[in-house]
Structure 1
Amino acid sequence: MARTDIRRSAPPPRGGKPAKPAPRGIRLFFRRLFVWSFSLALLGVLSLAVAVGLAAQSLPNYDQLKASQNEQMIVVRARDGTELVSIGPSYGKWLPAGEIPQVMKDAILSTEDRRYYNHIGVDPIGVARSFYVRYQQGRFRQGGSTITQQLARTVFLNNSRTFTRKVREAVLALALEWKFSKEQILELYLNKVYFGGGAYGIDSASRKFFGHPGNQLSLTEAAVIAGLVKAPSHYAPTADAQAAVDRAQVVLGLMQENGKVSAAQAGAVNFKAIKFTQEGGQNSVRYFTDWALPQLDILLGENDAPIEVWTTLDVKLQNTAAAAIRNNVPAGAQGALVSIDRDGAVLAMVGGTDYVSSNYNRATNAVRQPGSAWKLFVYLAALEAGYTPSTEVVDEPVTIQGWSPQNSGGGFAGKIDVRTAFAYSKNTVAAQLGNEVGFSSVAAMAKRFGITTPISTVPSMVLGSNEVRVIDMTRAFAAVSARGRSIEPYGIIKIATTDGKVLYQHEKKESTQLVPENVANGITDLLQSTVSIGTGKAAQIGRPVAGKTGTTTSNKDGWFLGFSSGVTTGVWMGRDDSRPVNGLQGGHAPARAFAAYMKVAVAGRPVEKFQTDMIAPAWQLSPDDEANFSGSPDQYYYVDENGNLVEPPSNNQGERQKPGVIEDPGPGDAYRDGGLEPVNPPPAVNEDFLNEATGRGKGDPLPPP
């Protein structure tokens, strides 16, 4: 009998209920989506927890966070320790949470993070609110960052608007909340956040804007400061006082809305009565700091620690210099002044009549024609070549290479001496002397004394057609004051950290004899005569003064440079657009400004008489006079266009014979000790040295003697 397969159904489960069918289709998709989403969310939470935990462990401790600063602070001090200006951020005094006024805490929390005590560093409600406003208005009008996130950004990050930065900011905020208490975080925030005007922290902001410590803030002042965080550069009182007040009114409204002040308290606030501290003492001083502070890169190299810079500036003299320029400069013109002590220390520097309206430093950056003040180098070259103040010259018409200079006034004096020609600034005599000694020699002399700008050797250069800087010309006159020895202007005495560690100390550099002392004495004689009887009479101050006036064509530039009792000062006046200025001559406004300043600058110094005796150098002396000579031609030096010393090359032509060796004297030789040792004139420098000193290319031919 055939077997028949019979399909039997599975027995029903115990209890009699049928089994549920396996999920299929959309139900299976959503179940799997839920499982994977939950798994990924759990993994994300675990990853975030690990990241936050690692970040919290790597965070500095609280004391380290208190001490950290993101930018360098530079406090600039005068020579007596007076604070001149603070460059960069100012951090003020650290205020512990217990010393921070409650109104300041309420103002900042109402403005920046009203749910501060209810979140863990990131506020989801605040983030959702910012996106809702974004959806309604088309752009973000509210930030979602908490105070903790802002602190993380201030201390550890930057303000770049990238997703990566926001994620790092959130992680660091959670880590900060993990590691520190709410009061600690709020204390860090209020002592570190930027409030504009260079002020970091509420104490610095309070002192800068209101002139008192941060623990004395009133409700009105707290509202102003809290309002600055949103846009420090816009709302800071130093930028726009009215904008700061308008923003403070918004803050006060938020405080009332959050129940931090009553309606009566808010209504009693009078913002019109608020007085902001006016910044002072940073006008003319900034010309000096703009010149001195860039030198920090050379003196210190890489350094981002807060430092104090002690400078050579004398506050009293700086104020006097600014007033002297302001009170004497012709209407519509600018003025500049540089004053140097005998060791090169810059005592005062004025780069213009008003730093706020124009921060261009005309004392160090502007190049202008010096006019007859340039004759300093012409007569130095002539004196070095053998002229004396008493040498006879002739003031008469002269033509050199087609150029015919004219004297001021158009007349000619005939036979006069060098002293008179210099005192009355005779152009024809200067042209003759320059032509005789060689225009390249005049250029070399100017380079030797520190002129760093290019020099042309055309004949008109003897009357100051080359452009120069005020500080360079002042340096040259200071070298004359130092009896022919080099002077290097400097403005920084020492640099120290805020805790007193000295990082740099100025050391006096060995000077070099630029010309023999007899030449320096001779030019001092001429300079003194200019002030005593010549064009510089307005510069007299009741004690010996040596100086020189300078005026360019059509009164475009007026100069006076001179020295007395170890202080050398240079004054320039003119217009930035080089237009003529009526009545501007070096012997008028510039000389008067010089006198007004110098009367104060030398008031506490002893009167010093000038050395004006010219004793010829050894190769021009008889044996009996030679003992008085102290200069040596092999001590001369030049400077290149950057002001660096260029020593003349050594050669053996000028070596003296050893004692006891007698040679037949040649023409012009002198003898020492009864003829035992010949003394020859200084050897001529080689052509390469002349090229370097005068700025002439190697291929350029030498000018005719």
Structure 2
Amino acid sequence: MLQSFRTSTFGKRVARALLSVDAWFDSTIYAGGESSKTAYADFSAFMDRFHVSGIRRLAVELSCEALTLGLGGAIVALILAVPAFQDTTDDWLKKQDLAVTFLDRNGAEIGRRGILHDDGVPLESMPAFLTEAVLATEDRRFYEHFGIDIIGTMRALTVNARSSGVVQGGSSITQQLAKNLFLSNQRTIERKIREAYLAVWLEFHLTKKQILQLYLDRVYMGGGTFGIQAASEFYFGKSVRDVSLAEAAMLAGLFKAPTKYAPHINLPAARARAYDVLSNLVDAGYMTEGEVRSARENPATPVDRTRDVSPDWYLDYAYDEVRRLVADDKLGDTRVFTVRTAIDMDLQKKAEATIEDELRQNGPSYHAKQSAAVIVDLDGAVHAMVGGRDYGASQFNRATDAQRQPGSSFKPFVYLTALMTGRFKPSTIVVDGPVCIGNWCVHNYENRYAGALPLVNALAHSLNTIAVKLSIAIGNGNAKIGRAKIVENAHKLGLTTPLNDTVSLPVGADEVTVVDMASAYAAFANGGKRVPPYAAIEIRNGLGDLVYRHDRDGLKPEQVVPAADVATLNTMLTHVVTEGTGTRARLDNVTVAGKTGTTNSYHDAWFCGFTGNYVGAVWFGNDDYTSMNKMTGGTLPAMTWHDIMAFAHQGIETKPPFGVEDVRKPLPVASQPQGDAPSQADATARTATLSRHSASIIMEIGALMRSAGQQRSAGDTLDVASGSSDLAGQASAARTGLQ
């Protein structure tokens, strides 16, 4: 069949056609190859014209490498610039354009934040020698650089390298303004990169005059003051328009370290710094030695402010709360507010003094340099907040912004979740022994095991192995499921930071904030209700109208876990203080529940505890995460908590924690509490304070009086009889509210 097809006429035609196609294909490939050779030869001949050798070739190679690296650097720079430029919005200049006056719980003014709309001083109205002193000291090349003073930065690096320390700062005024407007005070490489980009951005969007004006209006200058006008009023009792050369030099000297050189804290240091500023004026060519001689011989004398204390970290926290309410359109369209906060100034001062005393006396031996504390009410009202040791040195709030590992102070969330399964109770026998999840094995403090013991004792002595075993039991043998339930409850109770699912989560390996821990422990103290922390009790606008009241407009307490299980947990937590790791937190004749926390390598140490009246969280550590010298939560944190809370409970009717039986026995008057010796500060009586209701009545009286004054000034007639009757009745009610 095939042979007949090949010999047929049609078969021969098909064969010839296939041969033609094959020939065409072969010739096309050959022609293409020849054309390619010719094209390559022509290209080579063309490129030979650009051939270089010797030194010229080296230059070309270096240029090519530079171009490649430059392109890569530009891409990296663009990536790094994105987060910085996300901080800038169409209304970026109005982000802090609020004028807020803060009052304590009794209505006394404690500080201000934002820019006072009726108190701005134009740059041209300030004495020339004042702005010259600032420029001579902070940024002599201000009018020459583009936001980043490369020459000044290199000079500062050189001086600091020779001095083996930070002697000169390299940040320009524009960079400092960028930090004040957009960034936090956290010392990180990421922040410095964003600061540099934002400085350049500011230079392209504002004039030099506007940048200098904003800088002088918003920089922190110690004593709780922001802006040079507020500082002038605070330190010298006069407008910045009227300051002398000596006073201007003292003000200009505050920018570097406002707390260190604040004249109401260290007048000799402030005057020495002012002397240096005067020398800078001469060196920069703004003035002659003869012109500054009088200021040298007659240094400035500030107003006596030694008794003034500004709760700056608390004010920053409260100001951020007001800004959030404004952003959520909860305060209307006005920008001027008076905020009555929940702060207890006596307690705030005690907390700050206690932390400073502990760090000064015991910090060096423990290699601890920082601490933070938050004291809250059972409904979340923040009564005191300390964000670090020195606000002037660092405005970074370690109570709200620093995320640190809680260690064993996280275990109450584990134990509560176990109690909620219904399979555990305080008397349940558990076995303390080795336990591993995969390749990870947990160990107790000092690598000891206690064997079989009741669950309450395992919590009291903070056994790590039991916490991990409970996480496995909660998930019915699946540790991952158990940890997910623990995380869910922790977030329900008040922790807001992400809690990553790791095998070490039950022993506190994730990161939390101090204010969140205080809030979550408040949920233990009140029986399982989530109560987000807050500072503002009520807010009034510039006309005195009440625009916000927390009990009316704020988040309501929400029952998030069973109260019965919380009561059981609280009883267990009292054993931590009576016979466990937290004995140094015991209070005289006050039932305390709490938990210590210590992380690996002693990076962090905590004590979080509560009574039926107050909740407190205390943290010790270092900003650079260096290890401390074997500090545990049962040492300085528990001692600090004890001293603060002993003061807080003076003169009030104390209550046991929720669900805990009050088994206190009155002690003889002459007896002393066991454990730590009482400090002299503990014996200081607290100032009598008003209840929240009474303070609200007094604020209403003030509002009525202001309204009456406005009506009289407008020529209106006031019904004196009825008004007096209302005021008298409210005043009587307020008097009964003293506690």
Report the TM-score, using the length of structure 2 for normalisation. Answer: 0.53
Aligned partner of 1:601 in structure 2 is: 648
SS at match of 1:404: strand
Q: Is 1:346 matched with 2:372?
A: no
Q: What residue is the counterpart of 2:358 in the other structure? A: 328
SS at match of 2:394: coil
State the one-letter code of the partner of 2:311: V
Name which of 417, 438, 445 aligns with 1:381: 417
Residues 566-585 of structure 1: pairs in structure 2 closer than 5 A: 566-585=613-632
Q: Which residue of 1 aligns with 2:521?
A: 477
Contact 1:227-1:248 within 8 A present in 2 as well: no
* Aligned residue among 523, 527, 533 for 1:489: 533
User: What corresponds to 1:458 in structure 2?
Assistant: 502
Q: How many Å separate the matches in 1 of 2:442 and 2:252?
A: 66
1:246-645 to structure 2, matched below 5 A, reads 272=298, 274-277=300-303, 285-301=311-327, 305-329=335-359, 330-331=363-364, 332-333=367-368, 334-386=370-422, 387-438=424-475, 439=482, 440-507=484-551, 509-542=555-588, 543-612=590-659
3-state secondary structure, aligned to 1:412: coil
| Pairing 1:63-142 to 2, within 5 Å after superposition | 72-89=98-115
Residues 420, 499 of structure 1: CA spacing in aligned structure 2 closer, same or farther, 3 A cutoff? same
Q: How many residues align?
A: 444
Q: Tell whether the 8 Å contact from 1:284 to 1:351 is kept in structure 2 after alignment.
A: no
Shift of 1:280: 6.6
In the TM superposition, what is the alpha-carbon distance from 1:296 to its structure 2 partner? 2.1
Query: Residues 114-160 of structure 1, C-alpha deviation per residue, up to 9 Å, x if partnerless?
Result: xxxxxxxxxxxxxxxxxxxxxxxxxxxxxxxxxxxxxxxxxxxx995
Distance 1:195 1:447 in 2: 36
CA–CA distance in structure 2, aligned partners of residues 230 and 592 of structure 1? 40
Q: CA deviation at 1:377?
A: 1.0
- Report the residue type matching 2:596 in the other structure: T
Question: Does the 8 Å CA contact 2:249/2:277 hold for their aligned counterparts?
Answer: yes
Which protein has the larger Cα radius of gyration, Structure 1 or Structure 2? 1
Distance 1:503 1:510 in 2: 18
2:677 corresponds in structure 1 to none
Distance 1:409 1:345 in 2: 39
CA distance in 2: counterparts of 1:229 and 1:375, whole angstroms: 49
CA distance in 2, matches of 1:290, 1:109: 32
1:211 is aligned, of 237, 242, 245, to 237
Distance 1:271 1:398, change over 3 A: same
Moved more, 335-344 or 452-461: 452-461
Q: Distance in 1 between matches of 2:504 and 2:255?
A: 52
Q: What is the distance in 2 between the residues matched to 1:336 and 1:446?
A: 21
Distance 1:390 1:571 in 2: 30
In structure 1, C-alpha distance between the alignment counterparts of 2:463 and 2:130, rounded to whole Å: 74
Per-residue deviation, 1:609: 2.6
Residues 565 and 605, structure 1, Cα contact 8 Å, conserved in 2: no
- Checking the alignment, whether the CA contact within 8 Å between 1:372 and 1:463 is kept in structure 2 is yes
How many angstroms does 1:323 deviate by?
Answer: 1.7
CA gap 1:497/1:280 in 2 versus in 1, 3 angstroms = farther
TM-score when normalising by structure 1: 0.55
CA shift at 1:213, angstroms? 8.8
Cα distance per residue 1:474-513 (max 9 Å; x no partner): 1111100001111111011222234423332222533222
Distance 1:210 1:431, change over 3 A: same
Q: Do the aligned residues in 2 keep the contact of 1:245 with 1:271 (CA within 8 Å)? A: no
Q: CA distance change for structure 1 residues 532 and 299 in 2, over 3 Å: closer, same or farther?
A: same
Residue 607 of structure 1 deviates from its aligned partner by 2.1
How far apart are 1:448 and its partner, in Å? Answer: 1.6
| 1:408-441 Cα distance to aligned partner (Å, 9 max, x none) | 2322222211111110111121121111002322
* Deviation sequence 1:288-347 (CA, Å, 0-9, x none): 222221222332348564332222211111111112222224234211111111121001
CA distance in 2, matches of 1:599, 1:232: 36
2:558 is paired with a residue of what secondary structure?
A: coil
Identity of aligned residues (%): 31
Seen in structure 2, the aligned counterparts of structure 1 residues 207 and 520 have a Cα distance that, compared at 3 Å, is same
Given residue 86 of structure 1, which amino acid in structure 2 is its aligned partner?
R
> Structure 1 residues 442 and 232 mapped into 2: Cα distance closer, same or farther (>3 Å)?
closer
Q: Is the 8 A contact 1:423 1:529 kept in 2?
A: yes
Cα distance in 2, alignment partners of residues 194 and 372 from structure 1: 45
CA 1:547–1:211 in structure 2 vs 1: closer, same or farther (change >3 Å)?
Answer: same
Contact persistence 1:370–1:557 (CA under 8 A)? yes
Unaligned runs of 5+ residues in structure 2 are 1-95, 132-204, 211-215, 263-269, 476-481, 662-739
Letter in 1 for 2:347: L
What SS does the aligned partner of 1:550 have? strand
Q: Residues 43-82 of structure 1 correspond to what in structure 2 (within 5 A)?
A: 72-82=98-108
Query: What is the Cα-based RMSD across aligned positions, in Å?
Result: 4.4
* Mapped partners of 1:269, 1:429: distance in 2: 69
Return the offset for 1:546: 0.2
Deviations 1:238-283 (A, max 9, x none): 796447878999xxxx9xxxxxxxxxxx999995253024767888
Greater helix content: 2
- CA deviation profile, 1:2-30 (whole Å, cap 9, x unmatched): xxxxxxxxxxxxxxxxxxxxxxxxxxxxx
Cα deviation, residue 531, structure 1: 0.3
The question of whether the paired residues in 1 share the 8 Å contact of 2:418 and 2:474 is answered with yes
1:526–1:279 Cα change, 3 Å: same
Unaligned stretches of 5+ residues in structure 1 = 1-69, 95-105, 113-157, 166-192, 255-265, 615-705
